[in-house]
Amino acid sequence: MELKVIKMEIPEGSNLILGQSHFIKTVEDLYEVMTGTASAAKFGIAFSEASGDCLVRAEGNDGELIEAAKNNSLALSCGHTFVVLMKGAFPINVLNAIKGIQEVCGIFCATANPLEVVVAETLLGRGIMGVIDGFIPRGVEDAGDVEERRHLLRRFGYKL
């Protein structure tokens, strides 16, 4: 087994969701969730098949994000994984709907941070072992940081 670290490319102003699924219809189901849950969002989706033709299947409504999702999926080359890139919405707006898709097995991460994916490669293929999402902590928040966090969440409309 060989471990590799794959850097995901996240276009400026985008968020990425990385997950695992098990069926060819995943890409169409993800498309339906994105249009039904975040209809104003621009997005691109790529799903890597692990059987049959073993192709990267792609959907979306934004050419740049579709291409970036396909490139990330090819860089990973891990079967039954999917990449969703979005602008104009946050993962929090769609995560529960994505997790509710019956063939979705799990979510590795949802982020706008720099992202590295730890991949194991064997004679059979490649699989995601985990992710490195962003940077290490620089300390613990103080009272001013707490106030800033609370203000930010309210400005975004996530808290009253």
Half-sphere exposure of 11 (CA within 13 A, CB side): 20
Q: Output the pLDDT for position 159.
A: 87
Render 13-54 in DSSP notation, one character per residue. Answer: T-EEEEEEE-STTHHHHHHHHHHHH-TT-EEEEEEE-SSTT-
Q: Output the pLDDT for position 108.
A: 98
Domains of the chain: residue spans and CATH: 2-155 (3.40.1520.10)
Q: Output the pLDDT for position 160.
A: 85
Supply the pTM of this predicted model.
Answer: 0.93
Q: Residue-wise pLDDT tens for the chain (160 aa)?
A: 999 999 999 999 999 999 999 998 999 999 999 999 999 999 999 999 999 999 999 999 999 999 999 999 999 999 999 999 999 999 999 999 999 999 999 999 999 999 999 999 999 999 999 999 999 999 999 999 999 999 999 998 888 8
Q: What are phi and psi of 97, to 5 degrees?
A: -65, -40
Q: Output the pLDDT for position 151.
A: 94
Q: What residue has token string 């928040």?
A: 141
